[in-house]
Chains A and B, each alone.
Chain A
Amino acid sequence: MPHAIETKQLTKTYGSLKAVDSLDIAVEPGEIFGLLGPNGAGKTTFVSMLCTILKPTSGSATVNGFDIVREANKVRKSIGIVFQDPSIDDRLTGRENLFMHANLFGVPASEQKERINRILKLVELEDRADDLLRTYSGGMRRRLELGRGLIHYPKVLFLDEPTVGLDPQTRDHIWKYIKELKQTHDITVVLTTHYMDEADRLSDRIAIIDHGKMVILDTPQKLKDTLEGDVVAVRANNVNALAELVTKWLGFPKTKIVDGALEITVRNGKVVMPRIMELAAQNNIYVESIVLREPNLEDVFLHYTGRNIREDTGKELHGASAARRRAIK
């Protein structure tokens, strides 16, 4: 079977900056392909080229077998996209925006009404459908845009950070719907995201990109397996000191501090935990808690890019650490 997307040495440069640097990526038909990368990694640039909004500087790519430069028209006929940046008409109502999209993207007139109602229900905007977009909240606008991208059933659907700014419940609905769409309509999905849980739950395969280059590509499970080990997370009254001690005396260089907790990646966590406790006690460090967990995508990301995906994105944090952050502000 031909690839849904195939890029060959695809490159986009802005002056001396290589936003996308010789990417060779093949996306299989029917898969959900996740793109993970820190801010400025080149995800949006990559997606923009594939949906014919941007012309590549060099290299080539096909979407659905059509060349993105020479057969841009045919590419457009087979794709759908939810942009990262706003792209709605705020002088029109929600429903008008959806109808316009349906008309532009060739949804049969007989089906428009029903599909639009279904979408409005999905994104929970039925009661606001006939208000002007400018009276919507940010999250409501995002929901409408997301819904809009799902009205027509393209062969390849690009979702550029689709659920940023949405509440968890809505995200959950959207995820379910995307999975359902994929199954019922045989849609290939390219998803860029900052949310690890989103990438993990939705993607069949994930590519991590950084500085325009692909760092690694695999299934979420395999990616986590490559870290081969456990993560020991310690909360203590002086995590920095503990981090130094652990590195120095136990020889574990893979330590990092995440939201005030020291996280150590090791082969066999169960064996290491007592040693850490011992070390802390000897040095008068009070340990509040110590937990052992499997590595998650966040750890994978850090491992391959040397960065924590959240640290410069300003995206929300969860749980206790989030509360603490809020208290500080």
Chain B
Amino acid sequence: MSEARGFYTLWLREIKRFYRDRTRLVTSFIQPLLWLVIFAAAFATRFALPANLTYRQVILPGIIGQTLLFTAMFMGINVIWDKEFGFMKEILVSPVSRFTIFMGKMVGDSTDALLQGIIVFVIGLALGIPISPITFFYALPIMLLITFGLVSIGLVIASFMGNLEGFGAIQTFVNLPLFFLSGALFPLKGGSLPSWLVDIAAWNPLTYGVDALRNVTLGAAWTPLQIQPLWIDIGVVALFDGIMIVVGTWAFTRMK
């Protein structure tokens, strides 16, 4: 019972802080818009696609994945702030279990990231990208599942960092590789990519997340290009989440 309330209060805190940071919400519209409009227009003809798919359809789930990734990793910064401003001590000295502390933060941050993902989905629909709106409801749980693992990465890294200085390096060493190697911007199957790139992408959990999103939003049209069937995609992402939750709890246990 007290664990449940601990979880709830930590979750709520992340939501409130996010909601109050208006600038972040506003700027979150801009980036996906640029990708979906400018990048999609410029590269529309670069990738060979079946006749029943447009590049914008393919890139939308990719940009959703990218938004989830970047937002999720950015959440790690909150942990560093909390350490710097001392609030982490208040949490760590409380009788709530480390597992609950990690989960409260992680699910709270994931909820925030999910919100950003939803915004991108809606932007896509508003831009007239032909995707059935009903698939939104299938995509939602998958987006959340993707976010759990990604947020966990950010939290784990942040729990090891003493200050904000190193955090920029995450952008370079974690975000961008995960992004570019996930097939978010192009289909991994279908020929034209070098095989080493495809091989590396197979080790990237985000690859399966983006693939799952395409499986549900594009349906049969995506089947020829899919990495794995939907249930395997989901299985891989869920397994990754599970591992990251264990690692995250351990990281929070040793955090000072």
| Shortest CB distance B112–A (Å) | 13
Q: Is the CB of A104 within 8 A of B94?
A: yes
Q: Is the CB of A51 within 8 A of B93?
A: yes
| Shortest CB distance A185–B (Å) | 17
Asked if A172 lies at the interface with its beta carbon under 8 angstroms from chain B, I say no
Chain A contacts to B: CB under 8 angstroms? 51-54, 73, 76-77, 79, 81, 83, 85-92, 96, 99-101, 103-106, 109
Within 8 Å by CB of B86, from A79, A86, A100, A106, lies A86
Chain A interface: which of B8-16, B158-166, B222-230?
Answer: B8-16
| Shortest CB distance B34–A (Å) | 29
9 interchain pairs, CB-CB under 8 A: A53-B93, A77-B95, A79-B93, A87-B85, A87-B90, A91-B17, A104-B94, A106-B2, A109-B5
Q: Is the CB of B9 within 8 A of A106?
A: no
Starting from the known contacts A89-B85, A92-B16, 18 additional A-B residue pairs (CB-CB under 8 Å) come to A53-B92, A81-B93, A86-B85, A86-B86, A87-B86, A88-B86, A88-B87, A88-B90, A89-B17, A89-B82, A96-B13, A96-B16, A99-B9, A100-B9, A101-B90, A103-B6, A104-B10, A109-B5
Closest chain A residue, CB of each to CB of B86: A87
Main secondary structure of the interface of B (DSSP, over half): helix
| Shortest CB distance B8–A (Å) | 7
Asked if B96 lies at the interface with its beta carbon under 8 angstroms from chain A, I say yes
CA distance A197 to B87 in the complex (A): 30
| Shortest CB distance A130–B (Å) | 13
Asked if B216 lies at the interface with its beta carbon under 8 angstroms from chain A, I say no
Closest chain B residue, CB of each to CB of A85: B86
Given A83-B86, A99-B9, A106-B2, decide whether A91 and B93 contact each other with a Cβ distance below 8 A: no
| Shortest CB distance A164–B (Å) | 15
Q: Is the CB of A100 within 8 A of B93?
A: no
List, in ascending order, chain A residues with CB within 8 A of B13's CB.
89, 92, 96, 100
| Shortest CB distance A274–B (Å) | 56
List, in ascending order, chain A residues with CB within 8 A of B12's CB.
100
B202-256 contacts to A (CB < 8 Å): 256
| Shortest CB distance A92–B (Å) | 7
Q: Is the CB of B89 within 8 A of A104?
A: no
Chain A CB within 10 Å — which of B2, B17, B87, B90 has the most?
A: B90
Report the tally of A-B residue pairs with Cβ distances under 8 A.
Answer: 69
List, in ascending order, chain A residues with CB within 8 A of B140's CB.
none
CA distance A52 to B256 in the complex (A): 10
Within 8 Å by CB of A87, from B9, B20, B89, B97, lies B89
Q: Is the CB of A104 within 8 A of B91?
A: yes
List, in ascending order, chain B residues with CB within 8 A of A104's CB.
6, 9-10, 90-91, 94-96
List, in ascending order, chain A residues with CB within 8 A of B96's CB.
104
Q: Is the CB of B93 within 8 A of A76?
A: yes
Q: Is the CB of B90 within 8 A of A106?
A: no
List, in ascending order, chain B residues with CB within 8 A of A109's CB.
5
Q: Is the CB of B87 within 8 A of A105?
A: no
| Shortest CB distance A155–B (Å) | 12
Given A83-B89, A90-B85, decide whether A106 and B95 contact each other with a Cβ distance below 8 A: yes
Nearest 8 Cβ contacts at the A-B interface? A103-B9, A87-B86, A104-B94, A106-B2, A77-B95, A76-B95, A87-B90, A103-B5
List, in ascending order, chain B residues with CB within 8 A of A51's CB.
93
List, in ascending order, chain B residues with CB within 8 A of A85's CB.
86, 89
CA distance A81 to B93 in the complex (A): 8
Within 8 Å by CB of A106, from B5, B92, B97, lies B5
| Shortest CB distance A101–B (Å) | 7
List, in ascending order, chain A residues with CB within 8 A of B82's CB.
89
